[in-house]
């Protein structure tokens, strides 16, 4: 399921500021039965990126917007595209800057620093 929630919906019109839209994007856990739902959610995100508009939850009125997305995953998206679990067009829209961060288990020195940091707190 994909939920695009505009936090200004909950404010009075006097409190709504232009350009302060927050999105909460919720996707379902991978499941063959839910593959269509996941692709539907991806299509909605792609529409926001391409068309620069979305519908508020419970509304049929389109709202113009300009968004920036920061995303993270622990999945191999190239593999997900081959399996047709992730849209190729969305991948190329999102894949502007890639920062590969190895898992913590492969960064022993970082683990020691993090442990020391949190023990001090």
Domain residues of the chain, as ranges?
7-120
Whether residue 98 has pLDDT greater than 60: yes
- The whole-number average pLDDT for the span 5-10 is 45
Residue 82, pLDDT score: 94
Percent of the chain topping pLDDT 90: 10
- The whole-number average pLDDT for the span 104-121 is 87
Contacts of 73 (CB under 8 A, 6+ apart): none
Residue 14, pLDDT score: 43
- The whole-number average pLDDT for the span 86-95 is 90
Distance set, CA 66 to CA 11, 52, 63, 121 (Å):
20, 6, 10, 39
Residue 36, pLDDT score: 66
Residue 2, pLDDT score: 41
- What is the band of 21 on the pLDDT scale with cuts at 50, 70, 90? very low
pLDDT in tens, 31-64: 555 556 788 888 888 888 888 888 877 888 888 8
What sections of 16-107 are H helices per DSSP? 35-51, 77-82, 88-94
Question: What is the value of pTM for the model shown?
Answer: 0.59
């Amino acid at each position: 399921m994909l939920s695009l929630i505009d936090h200004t919906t909950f404010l009075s019109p006097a409190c709504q500021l232009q350009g302060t839209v927050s999105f909460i994007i919720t996707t379902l856990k991978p499941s063959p039965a839910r593959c269509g739902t996941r692709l539907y959610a991806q299509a909605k995100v792609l529409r926001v990126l391409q068309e620069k508009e979305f519908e508020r939850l419970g509304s049929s009125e389109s709202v113009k917007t300009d968004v920036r997305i920061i995303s993270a995953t622990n999945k191999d998206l190239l593999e997900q595209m081959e399996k047709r679990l992730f849209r190729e067009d969305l991948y190329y829209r999102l894949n502007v800057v890639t920062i590969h961060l190895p898992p913590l288990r492969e960064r022993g020195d970082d683990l020691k620093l993090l442990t020391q940091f949190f023990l001090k707190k």
